């Protein structure tokens, strides 16, 4: 941004760069840090040590956190299996069910817009010839076609895995309807709820969910700590990926990350108390950003269903500019040009391509992720920064000039 823009930021008391990438990760809430600190110093026991007070203290803290995680999704504490994060949880759900239910079937249904942790797990099972996988397309707004979904089932289908909220577009899938269909057919339903948890209400019973992947760092908890919800009644069979001491109901062996789990539990406790009010405030900030951009820029596309999306998500394509140049011009704002897990690759986002976007439109997409600690002043600065950058880049864009000329003459 121009020096005048930076001067405005300083005058407004803003600290640059402004963080608007809360779908990639979120800053640690100070309340979460306060809860964790004792378990990084004096309370350092191993939760599996049952012969002294250090272990008992750690175990008690883990079980208290387990209760908070379970309460956020309407589960029983005994149904929460702690992992290192959502990627491990996704792998455990998909590969664990495939192995445990190999005698019952070998068919999995998922979407082309799922997170790489799901897609690559499914492809690994396909490559090893352990499973057949149906990768369903989505509609242009990012939603699942329920009619097509119902036709995808076979008598060998053992698992459906569909995320609650997409990590790039924020689109919310109808998980309650999906869960009802799966339950009627006796097929397990897993959802990667990483982006939705802590932002929107999720009830595993209402949605007929059998397995749910969770992680702490997407809603102001620590990195490196996640969980897999595994329904107990009737019992869902999941084969472990890691063998060892039989921790976590023998589904995930390994010494528990006590401090991380305590932080995870605190983040869930905060989310449960504040989610409704916070989501409303964040949606207001997101809409403020959207309205400014649409009011002052033409040739802009909102990617994904605008209403059925996460409160803080805004994914927009700014046509007729160079994507890399745009990202460089708005370096005062931390945003993502695609999902953070694949941002090192030059290819256009596979999620946006699945919505039918051209390479050109996908390459100029920006994902804004508004979060708990963002302010109106930051949103206004970000909007001004993007508007100035896009207008400046378009001044020397022959594609934009041509598009404007076609618009004025009515020619395609």
Q: Looking at residue 359, what is its pLDDT?
A: 94
- Mean pLDDT computed over 16-31: 97
What whole-number distance in Å separates Cα of residue 190 and Cα of residue 195?
Answer: 14
Tell me the torsion sign for CA atoms 147, 148, 149, 152. positive
User: Which residues make Cβ contacts (< 8 Å) with residue 51, sequence separation at least 6?
Assistant: none
Residue 1 or residue 7, greater confidence: 7
What whole-number distance in Å separates Cα of residue 251 and Cα of residue 254?
Answer: 10
**SS3 of the chain: helix, strand, coil, percent, to 5:** 45, 15, 40
DSSP per-residue codes, 96-132: HHHHHTTTT--EEEEETTS-HHHHHHHHHHHHTTS-E
pTM of whole model > 0.85? yes
pLDDT category, 344, cuts 50, 70, 90? low
Tokens of 117: 């942790």
**Domains by residue range for the chain, with CATH:** 3-28+274-409 (3.90.1150.10), 30-271 (3.40.640.10)
Q: Looking at residue 314, what is its pLDDT?
A: 98
What whole-number distance in Å separates Cα of residue 381 and Cα of residue 358?
Answer: 30
Q: Looking at residue 400, what is its pLDDT?
A: 85
pLDDT category, 216, cuts 50, 70, 90? very high
pLDDT category, 71, cuts 50, 70, 90? very high
Q: Looking at residue 343, what is its pLDDT?
A: 52
Residue 3 or residue 269, greater confidence: 269
pLDDT category, 398, cuts 50, 70, 90? confident
Q: How far apart are the first and last CA of the chain?
A: 34
Q: Looking at residue 401, what is its pLDDT?
A: 79
- Mean pLDDT computed over 41-49: 93
Q: Are 400 and 320 in contact (CB under 8 A)?
A: yes
Residue indicated by tokens 């396909």: 126
What whole-number distance in Å separates Cα of residue 383 and Cα of residue 209?
Answer: 39
Nearest to 217 by CA among 277, 148, 268, 269: 268
User: Which residues make Cβ contacts (< 8 Å) with residue 384, sequence separation at least 6?
Assistant: 5, 8, 292
The residues annotated with a catalytic role in the active site are: 341
- Fill in the DSSP letter of residue 336: B
Each residue's pLDDT tens digit, 273-332? 999 999 999 999 999 999 999 999 999 999 999 999 999 999 999 999 999 999 999 999
Q: Is the pLDDT of residue 360 over 60?
A: yes
For strands 188-192 and 80-83, give the pairing. Answer: unpaired
Q: Is the pLDDT of residue 402 over 90?
A: no
Task: Provide the 3-class DSSP secondary structure of residue 314.
Answer: strand
Residue indicated by tokens 């929107």: 200
Tokens of 133: 């996988």
Q: Is the pLDDT of residue 141 over 80?
A: yes
What whole-number distance in Å separates Cα of residue 229 and Cα of residue 189?
Answer: 11
Q: Is the pLDDT of residue 4 over 70?
A: no
- Using omega within 30 degrees of 0 as the cis cutoff, is the peptide bond preceding 191 cis? no
Q: Is the pLDDT of residue 3 over 80?
A: no
27: left (phi over 0), alpha (psi -120 to 50) or beta: beta
Helix axes 86-100, 116-127, angle to 10 degrees: 30
Q: Looking at residue 410, what is its pLDDT?
A: 59
What whole-number distance in Å separates Cα of residue 163 and Cα of residue 113?
Answer: 9
- Mean pLDDT computed over 245-274: 94
- Mean pLDDT computed over 340-360: 81
What whole-number distance in Å separates Cα of residue 360 and Cα of residue 316?
Answer: 13
């Amino acid at each position: 941004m121009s020096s005048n823009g930076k001067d405005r930021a300083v005058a407004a008391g803003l600290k640059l760069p402004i963080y608007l990438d809360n779908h990639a990760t979120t800053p640690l809430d100070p309340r979460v840090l306060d809860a964790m600190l004792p378990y990084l110093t004096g309370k350092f026991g191993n939760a599996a040590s049952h012969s002294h007070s250090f272990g008992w203290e750690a175990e008690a803290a883990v079980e208290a956190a387990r209760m908070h995680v379970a309460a956020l999704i309407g589960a029983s504490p005994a149904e929460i299996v702690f992992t290192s994060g959502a990627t491990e949880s996704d792998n455990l759900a998909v590969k664990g069910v495939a192995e445990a239910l190999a005698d019952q079937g070998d068919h999995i249904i998922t979407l082309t817009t799922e997170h790489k942790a799901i897609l690559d797990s499914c492809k690994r099972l396909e490559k090893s010839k352990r499973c057949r996988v149906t990768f369903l397309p989505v509609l242009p707004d990012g939603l699942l076609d329920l009619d097509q979904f119902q036709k995808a089932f076979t008598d060998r289908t053992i698992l459906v895995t569909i995320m609650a909220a997409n990590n790039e577009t924020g689109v919310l899938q109808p998980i309650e309807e999906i869960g009802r269909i799966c339950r009627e057919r006796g097929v397990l339903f897993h959802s990667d709820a990483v982006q939705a948890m802590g932002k929107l209400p999720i009830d595993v019973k209402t949605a007929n969910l059998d397995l749910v992947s969770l992680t702490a760092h997407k809603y102001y908890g620590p990195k490196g700590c996640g969980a897999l919800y595994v329904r107990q009644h009737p019992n869902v069979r999941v084969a472990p990926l890691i063998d060892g001491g039989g921790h976590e109901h023998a589904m995930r062996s390994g010494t528990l990350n006590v401090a991380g789990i305590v932080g995870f539990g605190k983040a869930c406790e905060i989310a449960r108390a504040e989610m409704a009010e916070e989501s409303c405030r964040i949606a207001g900030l997101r809409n403020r950003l959207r309205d400014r951009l649409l009011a002052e820029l033409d040739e802009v596309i909102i990617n994904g269903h605008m209403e059925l999306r996460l409160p803080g998500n805004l994914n927009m394509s700014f046509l007729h500019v160079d994507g890399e140049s745009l990202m460089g011009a708005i370096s005062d704002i931390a945003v993502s040009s695609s999902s953070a897990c694949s941002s090192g690759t030059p290819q256009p986002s596979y999620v946006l391509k699945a919505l039918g976007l051209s390479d050109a439109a996908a390459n100029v997409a920006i994902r804004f992720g508004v979060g708990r600690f963002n302010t109106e002043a930051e949103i206004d600065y970000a909007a001004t920064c993007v508007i100035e950058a896009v207008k400046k880049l378009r001044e020397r864009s022959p594609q934009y000039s041509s598009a404007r000329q076609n618009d004025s003459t009515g020619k395609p």
